[in-house]
Amino acid sequence: MSSRAANDQRRIAIVGAGISGLLACKHAIEKGFKPVVFEARNNVGGVWSNTIHSTKLQSPKDYFQFSDFPWPESVSETFPDHNQVLDYITSYARRFELFPHINFNSKVVGINYVSSEDTSCWSMWGGSGEPFSAHGKWNVVVQDALRAVEGAKFSELPNVPQFPKGKGANVFNGEVIHSMDYAAMDKVDAEKLVENKRVTVVGSRKSALDIAAQIAKTNGAKYPCTLLFRRVHWTASENLVRFTFRNLNRFSELMIHRPHESLILWFLAVVLSPLRWMFSKLVECYLKWMYPLKEYDMVPDHSFLRQIRSCMLMVLPQNFYERVKEGSLVLKKSGALGFYEDGLVLGIDIVTVHLETDVVIFATGYKSDEKISNIFTSIEFKKCITASSAPFYRECIHPRIPQLAILGYSESPATLFTFELRSKWLAHFLAGDFRLPTVRGMEEDVERWERNGRRYSLDNYKRACVGAQLQIHCNDQLCKDMGCNPRRKKWFFPELFSPYHPADYADI
């Protein structure tokens, strides 16, 4: 039996038809597999199928592009809006005939690994370091999402603050929702929820800024929207984001220490580090000049570069500070937070302030680790996710969870770029082109990456972001595993000073 025929008989389940799920499906098909994709919704696109109406791409489209499927010429914007992004993703799925492999309205509610052996004793991943093993298999429990009973109001494990007893949302007479519920509304319902009402948006990341700016535009100064936050983050203009991406090249990565670095690379990182500091300070000075940050107490207490390392580079919504100046958007910093009958109780310095409001929208992110761990029925595998902050091997393989890869978890300046190369790497692995190291070898590798990530990100460390500023180096590792040349440019100077794009890896 040929290897391709053997692949045809091996069963691969993919949870989710977002970008990473579609990429995993496409590249598995190219290796002769017949994957089955389970998607809880009735369409592809993942987060792009339900997002805030004013949302735009946060990275230039040249970096958010499938390597073998360029953007259509009709999309001329550098930062397309969410409808254009969703159309692009849908066209990709249609072009490569992925829809027949997708089971829509099929929610995976649990997966359980059944093995005849004690997996904790294995020195190799899955017992052999190979993708398929005779020692065990996964059982996937799927629920018809159309018949499923709706869960709690805060579904999909959003990150909602904990409140003192008697100061929770239950004492509030107004309406409380999470940003994901707001994003799922159509435009008419979203405007109806906030129109002519006092709205408070809690959060400081991109979704909070977008929602607050959108509501301020809808209601104007008569019913100003309050943006409530604990910590300030740097926000950039589209031009600055373009400039930053153009400088994400091999030379810029020489300024950063990395795991397993040679003495020469260590020396270069030390010598070139002042350039990294200088870039950060120049950008910060530019942003303070560009926007009235000092006037509204919006100067962060951390560096611009540290924020990039933590995958928190954000494009400022259009006319954001103009809306603050006209009074339709109010910026308010607060520590402690609680509810009372007519609004929110804020702790500002040592003073307690009552903020009257009609609607509270929590744009406070999601519990991504908990969401992943909840899919496992095994307590042991749940702990593998939640009990450690170490990243995954090659940012998609947990050394202690056999025959399973987690794509779409890692973060980077351009997520599609990151997901695609890891999908190609995974397809090569599934096809038997290479084996994984020992479990201990992988654990030692991710421990080094964790130490390196904490060195630069400090209290902003997230294991999903360990390769954010070393993306080309991470891609080099994947290429070497696959037996491909990591040097994708034609000669020395472009290799060192030109940015890498998805198209550079199109032939893998």
Alpha-carbon gap, residue 161 to 148, rounded angstroms: 27
Residue 156 included in any domain: no
Residue 163 included in any domain: no
353 and 383, same domain (yes or no) = no
Predicted TM-score (pTM) above 0.85: yes
DSSP β-bridge partners for residue 236: 315
Residue 448 included in any domain: yes
435 and 350, same domain (yes or no) = no
Residue 157 included in any domain: no
Q: Are 386 and 373 in contact (CB under 8 A)?
A: yes
Q: Are 353 and 346 in contact (CB under 8 A)?
A: yes
292 and 385, same domain (yes or no) = no
**231: its two tokens:** 């910590």
Residue 308 included in any domain: yes
* φ, ψ of residue 351 in degrees (nearest 5): -105, 140
Q: Are 82 and 53 in contact (CB under 8 A)?
A: yes
Q: Are 195 and 224 in contact (CB under 8 A)?
A: no
Last residue within a domain, chosen from 318, 343, 362: 362
118 and 206, same domain (yes or no) = no
Mean pLDDT, rounded, of the chain = 88
Number of domains forming the structure of the chain: 2
50 and 34, same domain (yes or no) = yes
347 and 328, same domain (yes or no) = yes
24 and 83, same domain (yes or no) = yes
Sign of CA dihedral 462, 382, 137, 446: positive
Alpha-carbon gap, residue 222 to 313, rounded angstroms: 32
Alpha-carbon gap, residue 363 to 346, rounded angstroms: 17
Q: Are 429 and 31 in contact (CB under 8 A)?
A: no
Q: Give me the average pLDDT of each 10-residue run along the chain (508 residues).
A: 58 93 96 94 90 87 95 94 96 98 92 80 81 81 56 56 86 93 88 94 92 94 95 92 90 93 95 94 95 94 86 88 96 90 85 91 86 87 83 91 88 87 96 94 92 80 76 95 95 94 93
Distances (CA, A) of 257 to 249, 266, 466, 490: 15, 6, 12, 26
Residue 112 included in any domain: yes
**Amino acid letter at 371?**
K
394 and 340, same domain (yes or no) = no
Q: Which domain holds residue 343?
A: 169-362
Last residue within a domain, chosen from 333, 362, 391: 362
DSSP assignment of 181-246 equals HHHHS-HHHHHHHHTTS-EEEE--SHHHHHHHHHHHHHHGGGSPEEEEESS---EE-HHHHHHHHH
> What is the per-residue pLDDT across 94-140, written as a single tens digit (0 to 9) for each?
999 999 999 999 999 899 988 877 777 788 887 778 888 777 888 88
Domain containing 351 — which CATH number?
3.50.50.60
Residue 159 included in any domain: no
356 and 374, same domain (yes or no) = no
Last residue within a domain, chosen from 346, 362, 378: 362
Alpha-carbon gap, residue 338 to 342, rounded angstroms: 11
> What is the per-residue pLDDT across 335-351, written as a single tens digit (0 to 9) for each?
888 999 999 999 876 67
248 and 105, same domain (yes or no) = no
Residue 177 included in any domain: yes
Antiparallel, parallel or unpaired: β 36-38 and 13-15: parallel
